[in-house]
Amino acid sequence: MSRKAIARIPASTTNLGPGFDVLGLALQLYSTVELEETESGKEVIVTGIDADKIPVTTENVGLQAAELIFERSGNQPKGLRLALTNGIPALRGLGGSGTAILGGMLTANLLCGEPFSRSEILNFACEIDGHPDNVAASLLGSLVVSVTDSNVVHTLKLNCDTDLHVVVAIPDFPLSTKEARKVLPGFVEFKDAVHNVSRSSLLVAAVATGNLEMLSHAMADRLHQPYRISLIPGYDEIAEAATKAGALSVALSGAGPTIAAYCTTAMHEVAEKMSQAFARHQVACDVKILPIDANGATVQFIHSTNREPV
């Protein structure tokens, strides 16, 4: 009987404006990773959205993540086959690499007999992804606050009102997190730091107490967006169009280039206006209305035998 596991991992939108590298929200948009122990070699198969942009070599982060789990648990598979069915546009600020990393780790952990807890998996995933916000939200679901203290990630998950939807306008050009981090300054003004602490705190309080209308005061950012929006044609106009159409607030999704509008009503109108505003800047975009994923990543064995069905 072949040993095989499958994980389903939600996309994430992070920062939510002021919560740079701290806040992450899981979205109902999924990738799946299947991992199988084989007799020899390493094989990666990628299907789905942007399959041509994701490596199928040993450079694949999902495979690297799976191998890390085998290695750290003292297991040595003869061979591995990893199949990623990608549902998350690549390099668009929706946590695609984080989902692949978690998929590789969760399936490998199950095949190894679950030597690691979810919090250990989260720490390993952060080592590869470089920041905790995407992987924490994708692993746990809903809104997650992450703090790294002495190289250990501590998280708290907040449930979200199911009325909250994120309208994402995903432009047709990629932007790597690495590139989008290069434009950030080395220092920020004290008043700008205070600005972000106040908004980020209000945002968490708004979600915790169900006062979502407060999001309209809670998502302005001075740490990263002012430097990144020059990489996204028409950002201000798109944000304004979404707000006028009824969004509570708008922010870059992660490092961009996707723009995320937070809504409890008027989602279709917001989606249409964002798409039109991008088009005025000669950028084609895919718009999706996404509810929040409340549960995070799941993993299970796939029981397959070579017997013919009877």
Judged by the rule CB under 6 A, the positions of this chain that interact with ligand HSE are 14-15, 20-21, 93, 131, 133-134, 177, 180-181, 224, 254-255
Using Cβ positions, the residue closest to ligand HSE within the complex turns out to be: 254
- Residue whose entry in the numeric block shows the structure tokens 């992660």: 254
Nearer to ligand HSE (CB atom), residue 85 or residue 177: 177
CB nearer to ligand HSE: pick between 21 and 36: 21
| CB closer to ligand HSE, 99 vs 142 | 99
What are the residue ranges of helices labelled H in 141-294? 177-182, 190-209, 215-218, 225-228, 235-244, 267-280
Could you tell me the smallest distance in angstroms from the CB atom of residue 88 to ligand HSE? 12
DSSP state for residue 292 in the 8-state scheme: B
Closest to 7 (Cα-Cα) out of 38, 37, 32: 32
Minimum Å distance from CB 132 to ligand HSE? 9
Nearer to ligand HSE, 62 or 254 (CB): 254
* Residue 32 or 253 having the CB closest to ligand HSE: 253
Q: SS3 letters for 7-44?
A: EEEEEEEECCCCCCCCEEEEEEEEEEEEEEEECCEEEE
Q: Is the C-alpha dihedral spanning 280, 283, 288, 293 positive or negative?
A: negative
Report the alpha-carbon angle 129-175-283, nearest 5: 150
| Residue among 82 and 260 whose Cβ is closer to ligand HSE | 260
The identity of residue 249, as a single letter, is: S
d(CA 11, CA 25): 8
d(CA 201, CA 213): 15
Please report how close the Cβ of residue 183 comes to ligand HSE at its closest, in angstroms. Answer: 10
Q: Looking at beta carbons only, is 206 or 255 nearer to ligand HSE?
A: 255
Q: How near is the Cβ of 167 to ligand HSE at its closest, in Å?
A: 18
Min CB(131)–ligand HSE separation in Å:
5
- At closest approach, how far in Å is the CB of 136 from ligand HSE? 11
Cα separation, 6 vs 97, whole angstroms: 17
CB of 55 to ligand HSE, least distance (A): 19
